[in-house]
Chains A and B, each alone.
Chain A
Amino acid sequence: MTTNDLPASLRAAATPIVIVGHVDHGKSTLIGRLLYDTDSLQDGKLAQIVESSRKRGLTVEWSFLLDSLQIERDQGVTVDSTRIPFHLAAVSS
């Protein structure tokens, strides 16, 4: 579930996560890998980035899950921001 699915009272309490790092130290790569590890990818998405990485002589470039532009993939650098809905399992105490 995303924070949007939560009642307003809980949404206000949702914890933002911020990933900070130097240019080219792997912020997008980490987020891409988190999307994969949390089973947040649509069917076929992983195969698409594996193919896109292979074409560029790479194994799996996890940042391609966010960096969808050709210039980003060709140069291996994020050019513009991306927003992707992120589904989290509900946590019950």
Chain B
Amino acid sequence: MSLASPTLATPRAMDDLDQLEAQSIFVLREAYRKLRPLSLLWSLGKDSNVMVWLARKAFMGRVPFPVMHVDTGKKFPEMYAFREEYAKKWNLDLMLGDCPPVEEIDPSLPPAARSAARKTAGLASLIEKHKLRGVIAGIRRDEQATRAKERVFSPRGAGHRWDVRNQPPEFWDQYATPYEDGMHIRVHPLLSWREIDIWRYIERENIPLVDLYFAKNGKRYRSLGDQDITSPIDSNASTLAEVIAELENSKTSERAGRAMDHESEDAFERLRVAGYL
């Protein structure tokens, strides 16, 4: 009797996207293991869609914690339509949070930053209401210079403040999850991804997106925020392949169209220290 040798496909070596995906899934599972209650922030943009996609992969098809949209009420209509459609299709436990009016926000912030800080306040209410210990957010180091200093597991102290001078080291995938009353941990599974990695992964996995990212009449949005503080860029990239080709040759900043980043040298840092993403 002979044993038939099974026919195995030749294993493909892991490429860079496989490695990023595996690392992010590891981080999501680690967060779910260590931090409860846990929730994932879904801004309806490209990065957080990738994150929801990864979370579905990490937990066998269904995200096992609530997905939060902190709604400023000023998103594009296409984004709200997308939220309704995919919250159902992906079977998400969707939690919505409101933001206070701008009059209640620190008046010493520049105007666009003050407007953006409404989201910090909305997020803080959700964290307190649900006593969250972990909040998963889709920020990336290559987006913005203070995000380049972030940790994968980033502790937030009382008042949700980011103490940038006292961040734990993260060697060899060892993540600190300290806990005291009033603290939570921001978890950043996409921190090491670059903008172009996100787009190549969206193309590979066929991840759905709001079509504002694709050019119409010579303009497209490279980054999506509130309607009144976000501008489109000049572009003719109307397909995924064209967006990727455009980014390969681009030297402009991804967030050039986000007014809050450019008002003053310290505006974004002030937002982030106070609990912005």
Task: Enumerate chain A residues within 8 angstroms of B181, measured Cβ to Cβ.
Answer: none
Measured CA separation A4–B269 after assembly (Å): 29
Is B36 interfacial (CB 8 A cutoff)?
no
**A1-29 contact mask (Cβ, 8 Å, vs B): 1 or 0:** 01011111101000000000000000000
Contact of B164 among A8, A80, A83 (CB under 8 A): A80
> A83 touching B13 by the CB < 8 A rule?
no
A82 touches B (CB below 8 Å): yes
Interface of A is mostly: loop
A4 to B23, CA, bound (A): 14
Q: Is A92 part of the binding interface, using a Cβ–Cβ cutoff of 8 Å?
A: no
Is A60 positioned at the interface, with any CB of B under 8 Å from its CB? Answer: no
Q: B265 to chain A: which residues have CB within 8 Å?
A: 48, 51-52, 55, 70
Cβ distance A69 to chain B, nearest Cβ, rounded Å: 6
> Are B165 and A82 neighbours in the complex by a CB distance under 8 Å?
no
Q: A8-B13, A42-B253, A52-B265 given as contacts; is B148 within 8 A of A82 (CB)?
A: yes
**Further pairs besides A48-B265, A83-B148: 4, Cβ < 8 Å:** A4-B197, A8-B15, A84-B141, A85-B142
- 5 pairs, CB–CB < 8 Å, chain A vs chain B: A2-B194, A42-B252, A43-B253, A44-B253, A55-B265
**Which residues on B are within 8 Å of A, measured CB to CB?**
13-16, 20, 141-142, 145-146, 148-149, 164-165, 167, 192, 194, 197, 251-253, 256, 265-266, 269
